[in-house]
Amino acid sequence: MKNFRHYILLFLILPFIAFAEDGSQLWLRYPVNSKPRNIVNSNSKSPTLEIAKKELNNHWSGQPIDLKIDKFPDSFKDGYKIISTPKKITVLAKTDLGLLYGSYHLLNLQQQKGSFSNLNIEEKPSYDIRILNHWDNLDGTIERGYAGHSLWKWEDLPNKISPRCEEYARANASVGINATVLNNVNASPNMLREDYLKKVKVLADIFRPYGIKVYLAVNFSSPKVLGNTKDSDPLNKDVQKWWKDKASEIYKLIPDFGGFLVKANSEGEPGPQDYGRTHADGANMMADVLKPYGGIVMWRAFVYSPSSDDRAKQAYLEFMPLDGKFRDNVIIQIKNGPVDFQPREPFHPLFGAMKKTPQMVEFQITQEYLGHSNHLVYLAPLFKENLDSDTYSDGKGSTIAKITDGTLRSAKFTAISAVANIGEDTNWTGHHFAQSNWFAFGRLAWNNDLTSEQIADEWIKMTFTNDDKFVTPVKEMMLTSRETAVDYMMPLGLHHIFAGGHHYGPEPWGDYKGTRADWSPVYYHRADAQGLGFDRSKTGSDAVSQYFPPLNEIYGNIKTTPENLILWFHHVPWDYRMKDGKTMWEELCYKYDLGVHEVRDYQKLWNKMLPYIDEQRFSEVKDKLKIQAEDAVWWKDACLLYFQTYSNRPIPDNIEKPVHK
């Protein structure tokens, strides 16, 4: 009898479990066939193909599908073709993974209510390696993670495996992400201990059928710490042997291991410079041990020091002399901007400048500097702004996209990376809309020609609804949201005026000159009685000279610098006339105020959306928007009241007066 009651209870709650609207399903809300169909034919058999078949048999409601391996040139990579008639669909690819990607393409189209009777699609990825960087620590915490603890339960592995690991792989495969760095670039040497490698192997085995290769961030001092070598000098034979043996140990466990990501001589991490060696000496030593197995080294260019006159210049100064000195399985991983994932930065001047060294972009999906998981900020416009930036390195049209995807310079392999925003929160990313940033990175890594709008459109339809009354306004909100965040945080090229080490709220008054001048907000905004902004022109730090002509001239001249970067490159007088006739001070007030109003508009817009979606996600987003609106006012008040102590000018009358004192 008791059992019977349990059954009744289960029956009653089942629909709620199946349709839980807590965001855990991400964009993978494919309809479930009441029983699996048998609609897929294929001339190949592999765990990857089995996944493709299962997905289609469970979720596809259209015509029968043939999945076929076919002959394509090597350049087709993980690409696929989809051809259809009203009676049948054929997916063709060079590899099983290509067929899996083609299958997800169909399911995604179905979600967007596309038509399938006359398809003629050909897709191939822009980049070979489409990689997430997790900043996950071995103790389960995540550096700059705002969605709970790490998905990797190191203490449970290798014996107990969370089902979320496979769900993670599936979500990534559905957007074409094919690689992951499991651990923080501030890497613990323990990551390379034998017991941890056995745990890593288990994850690699789960990810493999989904086409995802595992990489590890490694600590440069690992040989000394783990192997008791005298030092970790890359030219020390014992050190080289230690790495060689370690590589062999790794590849025995994980034959398709991807390689190493290295943060060296950056923010206190060890590196080759500790022994008077260069980044190239360090990177090449690792590249040599990985080479026999096909592994690569992603060597980060994120370096700066308190002694530098302008942090934005240092990576260029350190890396340019090394151009052409790296092995061919090394790629330099460069943050999109020269300082640090700010709401807006110009592109990093190293892009295009190292002509003999492959380069890849590092974006940050986790919103370290964009309101953590509290603010709705859709990042595709930021990613696109960077990828579409023309560096002029090889003449007009030398965009970062073309430099990094091999179009402009032939490359042995190409890659693109981003710091993940994923954690064990039910909805994976903390904010429901932060899922769109994971999705957007994957989509752009697959096709860097897509527009932010296309990606938002896909994501909204897959994640929420196809109803135009929802799609159109919400898309508009997403597309403007990055500029809105810039407006209420750091308009006109202001940067790094965040509070403390957490980088959440404003602290333009922050002055850590006694300890680290280069972490002080005052170092970046340089407000004084004359004006505001960092002079990086010839009269200042001359960072502009690191850009190719004509950009060095354009950025070097206050008149031609785009106004959205004017305070990045110039110390601008408070009464300087902006293009719209306002003074710089008035423009600053106006931008902060605009940001606040924009968030309030999002609140009003969102309030009307309940009829189109579920109550749970509606109210969770609503609550987050409330925080964002309050934070926007906090930013505006803090920054305007502080800068006013230098400008000595009134806040214009048509602008909402600070509510804070």
User: Is-catalytic flag, 122?
Assistant: no
β-pairing, 572-573 vs 531-532, is antiparallel
- Cα 442 from Cα 105, distance rounded (Å): 13
CB-nearer residue toward ligand GCW: 175 or 315? 315
Instruction: Give the active site residue among 22, 122, 267, 309.
Output: 267
Q: Which residues of 282-318 are buried (b: 16+ CB within 10 A; e: fewer)?
A: bbbbbbbbbbebebbbbbbbbbbeeebebbbbbbbeb
Environment class of residue 74 by beta-carbon count within 10 Å: exposed (0-12), middle (13-18) or buried (19+)? exposed
CB–CB of 215/258 below 8 Å?
yes
562, 344, 447, 438: which is closest to 146 by C-alpha?
438
Other C-beta atoms closer than 10 Å to the C-beta of 122 total 11
Cis peptide bond prior to 549, omega within 30° of 0:
no
What is the smallest separation between the CB atom of 133 and ligand GCW, expressed in angstroms?
A: 9
Find the binding residues for ligand GCW in span 111-140 (CB under 6 A). Answer: 135
Spot the catalytic one: 368, 458, 631, 637. 368
Closest separation in Å from C-beta 524 to ligand GCW = 14
144 lies in the site for ligand GCW, by CB under 6 A: yes
At closest approach, how far in Å is the CB of 525 from ligand GCW? 18
Using the minimum distance from each CB to ligand GCW, give the nearer residue, 279 or 570: 279
Clarify whether 593 is annotated catalytic: no
In the chain, the amino acid numbered 448 is N
Nearer to ligand GCW, 224 or 263 (CB): 263
Q: Which amino acid is at 44?
A: S
- Of 144 and 571, which has the nearer Cβ to ligand GCW? 144
185 binds ligand GCW (CB under 6 A): yes
Distance between CA atoms of residues 31 and 41, nearest Å: 21
Of residues 343-402, those binding ligand GCW (CB under 6 A): 368
With the CA atoms of 15, 18, 22 and 25 taken in that order, what torsion angle do they form, in degrees rounded to the nearest 10? -160
Confirm if 352 and 391 have CB atoms less than 8 A apart. yes
When the beta carbons of 340 and 631 are compared against ligand GCW, the nearer one is 340
The span from the CA of 334 to the CA of 364, in Å, is 11
- In the complex with ligand GCW, the residue whose CB is nearer, 187 or 192, is 187
Residue 503 Cβ vs ligand GCW, minimum distance, rounded to whole Å: 7
Residues paired with 130 in a beta bridge = 416
How many residues interact with ligand GCW (rule CB under 6 A)?
11
Of positions 50, 66, 70, 143, contacts ligand GCW by CB under 6 A: 143
CB of 144 to ligand GCW, least distance (A): 5
3 state DSSP class of 211: coil
The C-alpha atoms of residue 175 and residue 438 are separated, in whole angstroms, by 9
Rule CB under 6 A: say whether 498 interacts with ligand GCW: no
302 touches ligand GCW by CB under 6 A = yes
Looking at 123, 310, 340, 518, which residue binds ligand GCW (CB under 6 A)? 340
Query: If binding is defined by CB under 6 A, does position 341 make contact with ligand GCW?
Result: yes
State the Cα–Cα distance between residues 287 and 281, nearest whole angstrom.
10
Least Å distance between CB 117 and ligand GCW? Answer: 48
Contact 336, 345 (CB under 8 A): yes
**CB 265 → ligand GCW: shortest distance, Å?**
11
Whether residue 365 contacts residue 438, with contact meaning beta carbons closer than 8 Å, is answered with yes
Cβ-contact 388, 404 below 8 angstroms: no
Taking the complex as a whole, the smallest distance from the CB of residue 411 to ligand GCW amounts, in Å, to: 24
From 281, 340, 487, 631, the catalytic residue: 340
For the range 235-239, what are the long-range contacts, defined as Cβ-Cβ under 8 Å and sequence gap of 24 or more? Answer: 235/275, 235/277, 235/281, 235/285, 239/285
Does residue 496 belong to the site contacting ligand GCW (CB under 6 A)?
A: no
- Assess whether 340 carries a catalytic annotation: yes
Comparison of 50 and 143: residue with beta carbon closer to ligand GCW: 143
Please choose, from the candidates 432, 416, 428, the residue with its C-alpha nearest in 3D space to the C-alpha of residue 377: 432
Collect all residues with Cβ–Cβ distance below 8 Å to 484 and sequence separation of at least 6: 377, 595, 598, 599, 602
Q: What is the 3-state secondary structure (H, E, C) of 532-588?
A: ECCCCCCCCCCHHHHCCCCHHHHHHCCCCCCHHHHHHHCCEECCCECCCCCEHHHHH
Q: According to the binding rule CB under 6 A, does residue 186 interact with ligand GCW? A: yes
**Distance in Å, CB of 156 to ligand GCW, minimum:** 25
Query: Which positions are catalytic?
Result: 267, 340, 368
State the residues that interact with ligand GCW by CB under 6 A.
135, 143-144, 185-186, 263, 267, 302, 340-341, 368
